[in-house]
Amino acid sequence: MSVCYLNGEFLNLKDAKISPLDRGFLFGDSIYEVFAAYDKKAFKIEEHLDRFFVNLKEIKLTSNISRQELKNIIELVIQKNELSNQIIYLQISRGYEAIRNHIPNIKSESTVFICSFPLKDLPNQNSNKVKISLREDFRWRKSNVKSTSLLANVLYKIQANEENFDEIVLYDNGFITEGSVSNVFCVKDKKVITPSLQNNILPGITRSVIIDIVKKLKIPISESRMSVEDLKIADEIWITNTTKGILLVSEIDKNKVTCVGEIFKKVQEKFIQETLA
């Protein structure tokens, strides 16, 4: 049994129900967050909540629940579920309205939903290398907002699955933005590069952790523009996200790429140590 939280109640996930007139369901008018819990301890919860509340403000969504209340509930959801290692999903929508209208009713009460799933892939040094494909980025221009309006990302993941890729990496006007569910790093001549936050990307929490690790290892790193060509001639390519950690890329569009892994291994080792701290 998986225990979730919905609007003041802890209940079995299969019993959780919302109205079809909830704005999150009708419009994707909601913000979500996904984070890992290792050994019953939420990883980088403060950083995730920082981003979450910035995103709520970004879409002018006001909720009656405070940050501390939300944190307490998240920790209770983790404890109420049996698994030691979990993926926690948090979502707040603008809530139910009796009449569908693009303009929200300021009196509507937000819907707060938190649930847990098994964390299947623990970060480890024997993780498989991944295959990516490059595609034009056709998403909206506010990808920094972690909205549940994810149809473009769904289509990219369907395409990746159909064509036997692990991830789709996106580019805009010849420059890499991010993956459909990941951030992107590359290494050239022992220098790490990742697209800057000005490149219409999500400020990934794992991305931030990896940047800090690289700096602590005294490896040069630049948050700057990364061209498609830069990616193709890189010595190493990494993708990062909450559910997978950091992974090394071995193929782009079915073509083998250099994946020395020298710097990757050092960074991955430090990342694993952080998840166990």
Residue 48 pLDDT: 97
Residue 126 pLDDT: 80
- Name the pTM for this structure: 0.94
Residue 127: pLDDT band (50, 70, 90) is confident
CA 179 to centroid of chain Cα atoms: 10
CA gap 110, 35 in Å, rounded:
21
Residue 125 pLDDT: 82
Q: Please state the rounded mean pLDDT for residues 138-148.
A: 90
Relative orientation angle of helices 45-58 and 67-80, to the nearest 10 degrees: 130
CATH code for the part of the protein at 3-118: 3.30.470.10
pLDDT at 81 over 80: yes
Q: What is the residue-averaged pLDDT of the chain?
A: 95
Give the percent of the chain with pLDDT over 70. 100
Residue 123 pLDDT: 87
Residue 238 pLDDT: 97
The helix/strand/coil state of 207 is: helix
Q: Which residues contact 205 (CB under 8 A, 6 or more apart)?
A: 35, 44, 47, 48, 51, 242
Cβ(150)–Cβ(113) below 8 Å: no
Q: Which residues contact 127 (CB under 8 A, 6 or more apart)?
A: 121, 244, 245, 247, 248, 268
Cβ(183)–Cβ(240) below 8 Å: yes
pLDDT at 160 over 90: yes
Q: Which residues contact 164 (CB under 8 A, 6 or more apart)?
A: 131
Residue 99 pLDDT: 94
Tokens linked to 184: 């992107």
Cβ(64)–Cβ(129) below 8 Å: no
Q: Do the strands 221-223 and 111-118 form a parallel or antiparallel pair, or are they unpaired? A: unpaired
Catalytic residue among 142, 146, 157, 216: 146
Residue extents of the structural domains in the chain: 3-118, 130-276
Cβ(43)–Cβ(275) below 8 Å: yes
From the number of C-beta atoms within 10 Å of its C-beta (0-12, 13-18, 19+), residue 140 rates as: exposed
Tokens linked to 50: 């920082």
Q: Where are the beta strands (DSSP E) in 67-156?
A: 86-93, 111-118, 130-136
Residue 136: pLDDT band (50, 70, 90) is very high
CA angle 208, 210, 216 (to 5 degrees): 105
Told to judge if 146 belongs to the known catalytic residues of this protein, a careful annotator would answer yes
Q: Which residues contact 113 (CB under 8 A, 6 or more apart)?
A: 4, 5, 6, 7, 16, 18, 89, 90, 91, 92, 93
Residue 243 pLDDT: 93
CATH topology of domain 130-276: D-amino Acid Aminotransferase; Chain A, domain 2 (3.20.10)
